[in-house]
Amino acid sequence: MPRTSETASVQLCSVRSLDLTDILKTMQNLGLTVTEELRIPLTLPRADAATSTASTSRPRRPHRRLRSGEQRFVDVLRALDEERATNDPLNGLILSAGLTWRDVEVLRTLRNHLLQIRPTGTPTR
């Protein structure tokens, strides 16, 4: 949800406890900066759960990117939670370039293979 022209609010819910460090890292890797966080632990009959609301900011109106890429954003968060996706800075392409998390995984795989066959520091011609 947009809060101002420069900030948005994101609410995360999980059946597991949400670690603030992981939330900060994930948001940063998606190209968002967390400016404040509100955590509410929940006790359910069969498990503990948590809800966390993070206020994020990024130049150039983050709520536009979040709104236009809302489904991609939700999909990557779900894939990260289910450990089907990698949490690294390449995930910033999901919001900035409009890629899906699977597109980023393919790009990451190609990058890793290229680094194996052509080590860094070796000039190409």
* Per-domain residue ranges of the chain: 7-117
Strands (E), the chain: 7-14, 33-43, 48-57
The backbone torsions φ and ψ at residue 7, rounded to the nearest 5 degrees and listed phi first, read -135, 160
- 89 pLDDT above the threshold of 60: yes
Residues near 33 by beta carbon (within 8 Å), at least 6 away in sequence? 27, 56, 57, 58
Tokens 């670690």 map to which residue?
19
What dihedral do alpha carbons 106, 108, 112, 113 form, nearest 10°? 20
Report the pLDDT averaged over residues 88-99.
92
pTM over 0.85: no
Structure tokens at 117: 């066959």
Mind listing the pLDDT tens digit for each residue in 9-63? 777 777 666 777 888 888 889 888 887 777 776 666 665 555 665 656 554 555 5
